[in-house]
Amino acid sequence: MAEGFARALAAAVKAPSPHNTQPWRFEVRGSRIDVLLDPERVLPVSDPGARQARLACGAAAFNLVITLRAEGRRVSVRFLPGPRRLVSVDVPGRREPTEAERALAAAVHARHTNRRPFDDRPVPERARSALVAAAREDGAELHLLDRGARYDAVAALVRRAERLQETDERYLGEAGRWTGRPRGESSGVPATAAGPPASPAPALALREFAGSREMPAREYEQQPLLGVVTTRQPGQDTQAGFAVERVLLTATAHGLSASFLSQPFEVPGTRADLATLFRDEGEPHTLLRLGFGFTTPGLPRRPADEVTTVIEEPGRAEGLPG
């Protein structure tokens, strides 16, 4: 296999995913790497259509691609219709990497979802412009909200979805299986990664995971900056995930933290209402909370070789180099 694929695959598995389910697999055949959806790791209650799982696979594909490009590889990317095979990445030759590519690749291993409180310090205009430009580079749009009627409407949908999930035994059971996991497990969200309870209650509090209530209450930012990623065409979950990861790595490179507010996408009624709010801009795929946070530990990941299949071509016998 081409030199450097192992490093790119190690970067791919650093992508975010719902409840850290890591719903991806990779196939390597010669100079090509395909990103596949693992249906066994799709959440049947909160993500029955695998929308968020495909978003996660798109984010993994971006990490793969940006690492290859930063190492001087020429890369061609094709998004596939699925349902399992989602992205095909071909590496036909070499080229000179840009400084921007190197900066994003360096951010892959520094980026972590941050469920802890952020400062109330506003995100500067320079960083906001960079985030919006990052989404556009991959054909998506990032809509930043920090005040106004639409902000209030989005916040209300988050709270409504949260209330509905708090009384849904199927959702609670699913969340309980994937969160609050003991130290040492390679998937799911450990108790140490949970955010503390909020006091006083802000406009948008992160949902509590197992372990949250064991921490002392903390004050969160009162009105966090929100980002909604949309695409013009419906059903572009994987492409949106590719763009979302570029946004997240750009945020990391600018010293920002981010976390997901996925609740409205996990309840059919609130997902429909969110789509109505953004119908003029396209289909919304994810809702981000952005700001200045303190360093937090990353979540565990399955090793790349555990989720990668190398398909040998006739006449070739290659391993997985570092």
Q: State percent of the chain over pLDDT 90.
A: 78
HEC string of 202-222 equals CCCCCCCCCCHHHCCCECCCC
CB 69 within 8 A of CB 96: no
What six digits make up the tokens of 92? 């036909």
Q: 221-279, pLDDT tens digit by residue?
A: 778 999 999 999 999 999 999 999 999 999 999 999 999 999 999 999 999 999 999 99
Assess contact for 55 and 240: CB atoms under 8 A.
Answer: yes
- Whether 125-291 and 5-110+300-310 are alike in CATH topology: the answer is yes
Nearest to 283 by CA among 291, 295, 272, 298: 272
pLDDT at residue 222, as a whole number: 78
Over pLDDT 70: what percentage of the chain? 90
Q: Top-level CATH class of 125-291?
A: alpha beta
- CATH number, domain 5-110+300-310: 3.40.109.10
Domain ranges of the chain: 5-110+300-310, 125-291
For residues 278 and 275, what is the distance between their CA atoms, to the nearest angstrom? Answer: 5
Tokens of 144: 């930043």
Reply yes or no on whether the pLDDT at 184 is more than 90.
Answer: no
Distances (CA, A) of 286 to 68, 109, 274: 26, 21, 10
Residue identified by tokens 């609670």 is 172
pLDDT tens track for 128-175: 999 999 999 999 999 999 999 999 999 999 999 999 999 999 999 999
State the chain's mean pLDDT as an integer: 91
Alpha helices in 43-148 (DSSP H): 51-70, 99-107, 125-137
pLDDT at 321: 41
- Which whole-number Å values give the CA distances from 165 to 68, 174, 180, in the listed order? 40, 11, 17
Q: What is the pLDDT of residue 211?
A: 57
